[in-house]
Amino acid sequence: MFKNVIYAFVFVALFASCKTYNHIQQTDVVYENTEGKNYTEDASISEFIGPYRDEMNIEMGVVIGEMPETLRKSRPNSNMGNWFSDVLLSEAQRTSARAVDFAIQNYGGLRIPTVAKGPLKVGTIYELMPFDNLLVILDLNVNQVQMLLDKIADGGGWPISRNITFTIQNKKATNIKIKGEALGTKKMYRVAMPDYIANGGDNCDFLKPLPQDNSGKFIREVVIEHLRLLAEANKPITVDNSKRIN
């Protein structure tokens, strides 16, 4: 009898306690950073990273040139975009049997906001363009060039090489000049670009069916090769600051 009373008591207590509500009462949101807080590094994590960093730096820590000015990424124009797309054009021209008119690079493909003035490491080129994108050349007709440039205009402007300028009007490309001549002066244009775009990336589906003159080289390797050749010839890196998209 006494036992039953205890059971009953326990049962009631359990029943009463099982219905509990957790009401969201207040939410505070902050964004923390390590700057100025004298945060130490977690030693075990640093130690764990060490061997990976050492292995990587054998190749990535090598200085391959001297950047004459700090490169900054911005839309529609930037010295970073000019330099990068100019290198793509130079290398496409150097390695292709047929002339290349201009080069483009999708804006999202450049991954760091700045490249510092001064010694340039191989690793920085990897950070700038880390993707396994290949450099390809496409033969585009006038209509396809217009579509590609409209896509670039709609995206707020991507890096484009020397030899081409245009104006963005209502998210379309107008006043297009290629080697100083209006688009349509000739029928076909040879355009260097990452295979990511040629394969339809960034919604460039219209390029997908076109045959590719494929260098078979990753874009970052193309840029590194360009820098090596400059260094061997004792030539400086040059950066053009002209405004190509208006």
Partner 1 sequence: MERRKFIRNTLAGSALLVSNQFPLSAFANDPNIVKLTILHTNDVHSRIDPFPMDGGRNAGLGGAAKRAQMITDIRAKEKNVLLLDAGDIFQGTPYFNFFGGELEIKLMSKMGYDIATMGNHDFDAGIDGFNTQLPHANFPFVVSNYNFDDTILNGKIEKYKIFEMDGLKIGVVGTGIELKGLVPDTHYKATRYLDPITSAQHYATMLKKEMNCDYVICLSHLGYKYGREKVSDVILAQNTQDIDLIIGGHTHTFMREADRRRNKNGDPVIVTQAGWAGILLGHIDVYFERSKNKRCITCKNQLVG
Binding site for partner 1 (CB under 8 A): 16, 19-36, 39-46, 48-49, 52-53, 55-56, 59-60, 70, 111-118, 123, 126-127, 130-132, 196, 199-203, 205
CB nearer to partner 1: pick between 19 and 243: 19
Amino acid letter, 165: T
For residue 43, the minimal CB distance to partner 1 (Å) is 8
Residue 113: DSSP 8-state = S
For residue 220, the minimal CB distance to partner 1 (Å) is 8
CB nearer to partner 1: pick between 22 and 234: 22
Residue 68 sits at the vertex; the CA angle it makes with 67 and 70, to the nearest 5 degrees, is 75
For residue 65, the minimal CB distance to partner 1 (Å) is 14
For residue 71, the minimal CB distance to partner 1 (Å) is 10
- Are 161 and 146 in contact, with CB atoms under 8 Å apart? no
C-alpha torsion 174→175→179→180, nearest 10: 180
In the chain, the largest separation of any two C-alpha atoms, in whole Å, equals 106
CB nearer to partner 1: pick between 124 and 163: 124
Task: Report the DSSP pairing between strands 102-103 and 188-194.
Answer: parallel
Strand partners, 191: 102, 138
CB nearer to partner 1: pick between 32 and 232: 32
